Structure 1
Amino acid sequence: MAFVHAPSRAGFQFAERFNVAIEAVKTTLARRAAYNRCYNELAVLTDRELSDIGIARTDIRTLAAQEAAKI
């Protein structure tokens, strides 16, 4: 009877999953930064300035989320 020894890839699989998780965290942080940057830039504008560019104050969160989703 012969035994077959297949090398284990467990170490590589762990490293690969770890790298995927790190990239997901980086993407999440980048999206959060983009959301906060966009939200803060629009939130400091007056209602008149917002209406001049065609944005209602209630749309700021939606616009910030759309900007963050681009990343």
Structure 2
Amino acid sequence: MTYQTDTSFAANTFAQRIAALRADWVEKAAKRKIYRSTYNELNALSDRDLNDLGMSRSMIKRVAIEAAYDNQI
């Protein structure tokens, strides 16, 4: 088992920390948008259309998560 340690310097200015928080927030918001749009589009399909894609209705949430988060969850 391996461990990774992330070290950062306390020398970051307040503005840099705020910018990093904002960048993180923007990235998370973009991923949530991809999740929501993928989920809504797949959920709008009929069962027959989903079957043509090789999916069942129970797979919609997992596919949307994979589309948005690249299997990071």
In terms of Rg, which structure is larger? 1
- Give the aligned partner of residue 6 of structure 2: none
Gaps of 5+ in 1: 1-9
Higher relative contact order (CA 8 A, sep 6+): 1
- Give the aligned partner of residue 59 of structure 2: 59
1:36 aligns with 2:73: no
CA shift, 1:56, in A, is: 1.0
SS, match of residue 34 in structure 1: helix
SS, match of residue 54 in structure 1: coil
CA shift, 1:13, in A, is: 1.3
Paired-residue identity, %: 35
TM, length-normalised to structure 2: 0.77
CA shift, 1:16, in A, is: 0.8
Q: Work out the CA distance in 1 between the residues paired with 2:62 and 2:37.
A: 13
How big is the alpha-carbon RMSD for the aligned residues of Structure 1 and Structure 2?
Answer: 1.6
Q: Work out the CA distance in 2 between the residues paired with 1:27 and 1:58.
A: 27
Q: Work out the CA distance in 2 between the residues paired with 1:50 and 1:43.
A: 9
Paired residue type of 2:62: T
Structure with the bigger percentage of helix: 1
